[in-house]
Amino acid sequence: MHSFDPAEAVEYGMLEAVLLSNIRWWVAKNASNNKHWYDGHYWTYNSAKAFAKLFPYASQQQIQRALKRLETSGIVHVGNYNTNPYDHTKWYTAPIQGDYDRSHLIIRGVSDDQPSNTDINQIVNSKKCITDNPLFDTFWNAYPRKTNKGFAKQVFQRMSVDQALLDKMILAIGQQKKTDQWKNPQYIPHPSTWLNGERWEDELLTTAQPLSPADREKARLFGR
């Protein structure tokens, strides 16, 4: 899950909001499968190293600090329910607080899933099961920055892109290629970032052409 609540990003930080969303998703999934019920809550578990593999745009140290901030804030609770006493992998739960009323949407979205484990190895291996998608191939060929194709494909397929949306994406890519920002490859968003941010909806900013010396003089004379 690579998503977040903008309000929580403002309150806790961007990375914290992403991690919080992921924890909530797995807790809801485990609740729907009646798994990992301890001390009155459903839980999920993962290490900072595993989180760093899931979210490659953050280092393990950044994730450790973000998880600690979530724990300190009280929005995430931490426990240890490992059967092996030498296993110190942390367990997390994020009770729904305040007016956060989207939990039923999360649970409804995963209620039909088969029981699963939050082990990073299972998650990583599942990436191999992604099937070919000719719509994604069209998107990938059109997008000018070829970075982290596997992750971009996961995001694309999770969005259930149809031909109409793809056409809109391709049109937007063609227009954005002409902007000053995209003339420098380092400023082109990663394809997964572009997809997650629905950047095909961006309003294009037009760059005003500089006035020639003659036009500047006319503007000065006529008060424009």
C-alpha triplet 14, 50, 137: angle, nearest 5°: 75
Burial of 29 (0-12, 13-18, 19+ CB in 10 A): buried
Looking at residue 197, its pLDDT comes to 83
Looking at residue 167, its pLDDT comes to 94
Looking at residue 193, its pLDDT comes to 85
Q: Residue 37: in which H helix or E strand, if any?
A: strand 37-38
CB 53 within 8 A of CB 120: yes
Looking at residue 107, its pLDDT comes to 38
Q: Residue 36 is encoded by which pair of tokens?
A: 């990992």
Looking at residue 54, its pLDDT comes to 87
pLDDT less than 50: residues of the chain: 97-130, 207-208, 223-224
- Phi first, then psi: give them for residue 35, nearest 5 degrees: -120, 150
Looking at residue 213, its pLDDT comes to 66
Q: Residue 159 is encoded by which pair of tokens?
A: 């969005």
- Phi first, then psi: give them for residue 9, nearest 5 degrees: -65, -40
